[in-house]
Amino acid sequence: MKDFSTEISYKTSRSSGAGGQNVNKVETAVTAIWNVMESQFFSFDEKLRISEKLKNRINSEGLLQMTSSESRTQLQNKKIVTEKMLELVEKSLFIPNKRVATKPSKVQIQKRIDNKKKLSEKKENRKFRF
């Protein structure tokens, strides 16, 4: 996992919700901003992959923004939003293995057909005939 936290810039704002006067006077919400294409930590291909996977979170200027107002302290929110961003970018870089299509073996096919025949006979024997 690459630690690109030195490239992240932070902006603070007032949190919303419960908290009394603390919410009204202290800027505890933290917004992390990272420019994907200007990063020095990733190759061009990795930047393209990140941009493609996170296109709904990246704005028109190419900035990835995340906000945290979970905690009552600015420092804790900064830590939370940084961890979330690092984790999100790490997940976007993951390339899943290609699935190889397989056929069931002849023995498996035969077992399935035999099983169906047995079940059919069992149900047929339950019927009352005149």
pTM equals: 0.70
Query: Whole-angstrom Cα distance, residue 13 to residue 106?
Result: 65
User: For residue 23, what are its two tokens?
Assistant: 């919410």
Amino acid letter, 78: K
When pLDDT is averaged across residues 47-68 and rounded to a whole number, the result is 91
Going by pLDDT thresholds of 50, 70 and 90, the confidence category of residue 20 is: low
Strand order of the β-sheet with 63-68 is: 9-13, 29-35, 63-68
Radius of gyration over every alpha carbon of the chain, rounded to an integer in angstroms: 28
**Placement of tokens 């498996």 in the chain:** 108
Fold classification of 5-93 (topology level): Double Stranded RNA Binding Domain (3.30.160)
Going by pLDDT thresholds of 50, 70 and 90, the confidence category of residue 2 is: confident
User: Would you list the domain boundaries of the chain?
Assistant: 5-93
Q: What is the pLDDT of residues 27-42, one digit of tens each?
A: 889 999 999 988 888 9
